[in-house]
Chain A
């Protein structure tokens, strides 16, 4: 699959527009501002290229959602997961941020963040799709990425994006990754041409 620089720029802009929706959703959950820290996007990437070793001691909580030809993963380091879980359930009198509750909370927060980006893509392309229910993942970054994007390992090179968001006030970070196969990328580009 060949994606010319202009098309790459178009896809990048689409994803970045979705990031605005992401930061708004995270702000609504945490009652703090969130900013985009870094965006990295590659037109041709192997899933394995994204499997970073990271710090062996770093433990993450996240969830991924998928649909045909597209996978979205959102995750938080353990400290950030704890902080945003507390914010998320702070409006509830009956819920407490126990470790068990944290995994469930992060699953729902990831679902909200992922659908913000996916929704922006869908709206700009005039299409609709329902992603799977969020599947929780936890552990080292490499393990989570393998779990989410394992199906892409045999597909050769696909379109990948890595987005890092943070909230200074909350002292928390959120990472969003997405991979799109060439069929889906072509579908997006064709939809934009119409």
Chain B
């Protein structure tokens, strides 16, 4: 299943590399954001199948964005892509609704595995009628 994704990341290189990797895996980036507000706006507008979320953004805390996205849509499949992989933080993120945590530098196999699990088991967000599934 090809997924439609929102990428929330403020480093332009990581964002470009992530988009390339997602494309290689057959998925589509439908929107990008680098703040809490833009992430929520883009999520509401596109209703993606999954969200890739950086934890340490210049303007906003990724944990706050995770909670806001999950509050806006309790079914949202959000996976965190971060250099910060502390064990207790990981527990907090999972408890806050994160689907998975992928360590930076991003490994293609880790990303692939996460997205396969989202495609198979993840919570499906409700799609607006003007954004039909791509697969």
Query: Interface on A for B, CB 8 Å cutoff?
Result: 25, 28-29, 65, 88-89, 91-95, 101, 104-105, 107-108, 111-112, 114-116, 118-119, 122-123, 126-134
Cβ B63 vs Cβ A133 within 8 A: no
Q: What is the bound-complex CA distance between A127 and B90, given in angstroms?
A: 11
Closest CB of chain A to B77's CB: distance in Å?
22
Given contacts A28-B105, A128-B89, A130-B63, contact A111 B17 (CB under 8 A): no
Within the complex, which residue of B61, B62, B83, B88 is in contact with A128, where a contact is CB–CB below 8 Å? Answer: B88
Query: Interface on B for A, CB 8 Å cutoff?
Result: 10-14, 16-17, 20, 55-58, 61-63, 82-89, 91-92, 104-105, 107
Set of chain B residues within 8 Å of A131, measured between Cβ atoms: 56, 84
Q: Which residue of A lies closest to B107 (CB)?
A: A28
Closest CB of chain B to A83's CB: distance in Å?
16
Q: What is the bound-complex CA distance between A28 and B86, given in angstroms?
A: 18
Cβ A107 vs Cβ B17 within 8 A: no
Cβ B89 vs Cβ A111 within 8 A: no
Set of chain A residues within 8 Å of B16, measured between Cβ atoms: 92, 94-95
Closest CB of chain A to B131's CB: distance in Å?
26
Within the complex, which residue of A88, A93, A130, A132 is in contact with B89, where a contact is CB–CB below 8 Å? Answer: A130
